[in-house]
């Protein structure tokens, strides 16, 4: 049997499956083979009292169990005694020195019978083959197994007693129950003590494993405990710092405290938290004060968390937050801003972030109060709003058109706890769109009120647009859109039209090309055609504008004037004059129409052009009348 090493904690002896303790006892040993005389009840009471005192004072479980086995052997007039302690499948046997089992087989038999026993006290006859291995004079009669159970009936161990007498009296059974109770109480106490020691060691290891700096000091401003992280930072061991004044740690961070402890600010407060900095690091100092070991002592615990990286990340986040050109905001459900970036402050027209956060702008922000309710109702239903258009009001009262992406942050109950969003100022775009729409409407009115037919051709000569005048002339949309304009031109004039279209496609304008074109009723008419190129952003021609004016009547009139010249000299002179007058008048009319169709001509000039057009038509009419006469 191996001997147990001297250990200071109750659990350290459970290192092997079975070991018998044979440590010499300080109590006087009894002679082998002789039983102690029967002690009276009062003597047993004194022994039990002494046993209780030993249990309370002992901090070494193996030694106590040896003394317990020795007292139990003496009190029960036994030859040998021992205590088996169970921990799962492991068993540790603590026996009185001398006698007892001499072979491992005998020890195994005793342990197996003890584990199999279901009674609180059981006396079992020792087989002859086992008795032969016991170093006692004569043949021992029985081995007594006494069950040692915890308060929750957990089996802690078994008390062994080998003696000659086979019977147990009632007093002896009561004594064995009392001994088992003492042993159970002692084992439970040792187990709790062991758990406490393990917890203490684990607590120390856990504290040392924390990367934050931890220091504890007493009321006298002396260090009581530090963790390994702080000691390593200072280049010493944790033990070397115990008893040192707290002022020796002032080098860690500059807190501005005048107290002997650089981390204490207000000793009347049970808890403190603030940020302190050194030349290179930033710390979050958390302080707690708790009662010490005595009533007049207070322990102060400082935890210094290195937040340098977090502060740097916060700084970078704030820089990114403020550098975004779109407005970013965090707000409560009732509309009060919690945080905004600089773009949001500029967008709403406030002087600073502090002014915007300090003021409840929600009532002023929405020109229509119902818009706020509609916004929150929609957000509550959807949770996320994308490209949400909302008109807000700046500080100065001007309207702000916005395009927003909003997300609702909900609490554990599903209620909206915070509103987060990104806001884009689209006021300028809205203004441009309105202006563009006005210009488009204006141009559309001009196109629809002019007396000329205006068409737009692509570079392949297909019609993509026709103004209202084309349809008023009797043409159908299905006949025009998507068809080639050249197909409406008389076959003999198509080459001229194709040449003009090619010239325009190359970027040149063609004016007053007179061609015969088929009318909507199928008849051929004389038309004055002008072609102008339209360019894209790259200045490439991508379409052609065609202005067509029906001059059939003018052509017939010209023919009648020519016929009248043959009838009389004066008539020919008048017809010649009329002809000469009509030519410039036609140019005047044509160019006047073109100028009136030009959207860049100012309104004041248009009035003059209308007068010129009216007078020119009147002159044309008079000339035609004179020629006819």
The encoded tokens of residue 13 equal: 């002896």
What's the CA gap between 104 and 89, in Å, rounded? Answer: 17
* Domain covering 445-550 in this structure, CATH number: 3.30.450.20
* Domain covering 10-197 in this structure, CATH number: 3.30.450.40
Task: Give pLDDT, residue 629.
Answer: 56
Task: Give strand pairing partners of 91.
Answer: 86
Task: Give pLDDT, residue 567.
Answer: 65
All structural domains of the chain with their residue ranges:
10-197, 210-310, 324-425, 445-550, 555-628
What's the CA gap between 253 and 255, in Å, rounded? Answer: 6
Task: Give pLDDT, residue 258.
Answer: 85
Tens of pLDDT along 12-42? 333 333 333 333 333 333 333 333 444 444 5
Of the segments 38-42, 53-57, 407-411, which one has the largest average pLDDT value?
A: 407-411
363: helix, strand or coil = helix
Task: Give strand pairing partners of 123.
Answer: 144
* pTM of the full structure: 0.42
Q: Both ends of the chain: CA-CA distance in Å? A: 156
Distances (CA, A) of 122 to 73, 116, 117: 16, 11, 7
Task: Give strand pairing partners of 339.
Answer: 330
Task: Give pLDDT, residue 35.
Answer: 39
Task: Give pLDDT, residue 74.
Answer: 87
Mean pLDDT of 380-400: 91
Mean pLDDT of 482-499: 91
User: DSSP characters for 406-439?
Assistant: EEEEE-TTS-EEEEEEEEEE-HHHHHHHHHHHHH
Task: Give pLDDT, residue 126.
Answer: 85
Does 546 score more than 90 pLDDT?
A: yes
**pLDDT band, very low/low/confident/very high, at 608 (cuts 50, 70, 90):** confident
Domain 210-310 is classified in which CATH homologous superfamily? PAS domain (3.30.450.20)
Helix (H) / strand (E) element for 249: namely none
Task: Give pLDDT, residue 6.
Answer: 31
Helices (H), 14-60: 41-57
Domain 324-425 is classified in which CATH homologous superfamily? PAS domain (3.30.450.20)
Task: Give pLDDT, residue 416.
Answer: 92
Q: What is the mean pLDDT of the chain?
A: 82
Task: Give pLDDT, residue 11.
Answer: 37
Q: For a pLDDT cut of 90, what percent of the chain falls above it?
A: 24
User: Do the first three CATH levels of 210-310 and 445-550 match, i.e. the same topology?
Assistant: yes
User: DSSP characters for 505-550?
Assistant: HTT--EEEEEEEEE-TTS-EEEEEEEEEEEE-TTS-EEEEEEEEEE
Task: Give pLDDT, residue 12.
Answer: 34
For 441, other C-beta atoms within 10 Å of its C-beta total 10
**Cα within 13 Å of Cα(435), Cβ side:** 6
């Amino acid at each position: 049997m191996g001997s147990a090493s001297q250990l200071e904690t109750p659990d350290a002896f459970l290192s092997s499956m079975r070991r018998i303790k044979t440590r010499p006892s300080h109590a006087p040993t009894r002679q082998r083979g002789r039983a102690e005389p029967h002690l009276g009840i009062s003597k047993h009471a004194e022994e039990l009292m002494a046993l209780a005192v030993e249990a309370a004072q002992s901090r070494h479980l193996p030694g106590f169990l040896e003394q317990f086995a020795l007292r139990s052997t003496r009190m029960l007039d036994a030859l040998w005694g021992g205590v088996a302690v169970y921990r799962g499948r492991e068993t540790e046997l603590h026996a009185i020195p001398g006698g007892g089992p001499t072979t491992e087989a005998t020890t195994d038999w005793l342990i197996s019978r003890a584990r199999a026993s279901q009674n609180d006290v059981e006396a079992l006859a020792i087989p002859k083959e086992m008795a032969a291995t016991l170093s006692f004079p004569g043949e021992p009669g029985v081995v007594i197994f006494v069950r040692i159970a915890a308060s929750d009936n957990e089996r802690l161990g078994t008390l062994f007693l080998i003696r000659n007498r086979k019977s147990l009296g009632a007093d002896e059974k009561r004594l064995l129950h009392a001994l088992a109770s003492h042993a159970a109480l002692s084992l439970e106490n040792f187990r709790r003590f062991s758990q406490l020691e393990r917890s203490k060691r684990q607590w120390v290891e856990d504290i040392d494993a924390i990367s934050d700096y931890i220091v504890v000091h007493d009321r006298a401003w002396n260090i009581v405990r530090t963790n390994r992280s702080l000691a390593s930072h200072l280049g010493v061991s944790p033990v070397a710092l115990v008893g040192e004044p707290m002022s020796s740690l002032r080098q860690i961070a500059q807190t501005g405290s005048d107290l002997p402890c650089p981390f204490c600010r207000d000793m009347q407060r049970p808890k403190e938290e603030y940020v302190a900095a050194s030349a290179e690091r930033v710390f979050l100092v958390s302080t707690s004060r708790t009662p010490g070991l005595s009533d007049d002592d207070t322990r102060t615990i400082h935890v210094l968390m290195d937040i340098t990286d977090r502060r740097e990340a916060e700084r970078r986040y704030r820089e990114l937050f403020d550098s975004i050109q779109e407005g970013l905001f965090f707000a409560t459900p009732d509309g009060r801003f919690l945080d905004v970036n600089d773009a949001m402050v500029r967008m709403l027209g406030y002087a600073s972030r502090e002014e915007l956060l300090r003021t409840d702008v929600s009532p002023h922000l929405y020109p229509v109060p119902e818009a706020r309710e509609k916004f929150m109702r929609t957000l509550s239903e959807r949770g996320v709003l994308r490209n949400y258009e909302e008109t807000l009001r700046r500080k100065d009262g001007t309207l702000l058109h916005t395009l927003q992406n909003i997300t609702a942050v909900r609490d554990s109950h599903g209620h909206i706890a915070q509103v987060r969003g990104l806001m884009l100022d689209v006021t300028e775009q809205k203004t441009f769109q309105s202006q563009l729409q006005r210009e488009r409407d204006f141009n559309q009115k001009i196109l629809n009120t002019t007396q000329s037919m205006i068409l737009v051709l692509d570079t392949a000569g297909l019609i993509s647009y026709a103004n209202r005048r084309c349809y008023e002339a009797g043409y159908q949309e299905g006949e025009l859109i998507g068809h080639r304009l050249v197909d409406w031109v008389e076959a003999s004039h198509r080459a001229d039209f194709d040449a003009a279209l090619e010239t325009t496609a190359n970027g040149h304008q063609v004016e007053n090309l007179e061609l015969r074109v088929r009318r909507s009723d199928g008849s051929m008419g004389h038309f004055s055609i002008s072609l102008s190129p339209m360019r894209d952003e790259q200045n490439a021609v991508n379409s052609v504008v065609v202005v067509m004016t029906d001059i059939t009547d003018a052509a017939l009139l010209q023919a009648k004037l020519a016929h009248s010249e043959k009838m009389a000299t004066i008539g020919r002179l008048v017809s010649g004059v009329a002809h000469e007058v009509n030519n410039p008048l036609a140019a005047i009319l044509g160019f006047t129409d073109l100028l009136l169709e030009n959207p860049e001509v100012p309104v004041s000039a248009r009035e003059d052009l209308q007068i010129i057009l009216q007078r020119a038509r009147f002159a044309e009419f008079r000339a035609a009348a004179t020629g006819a006469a």
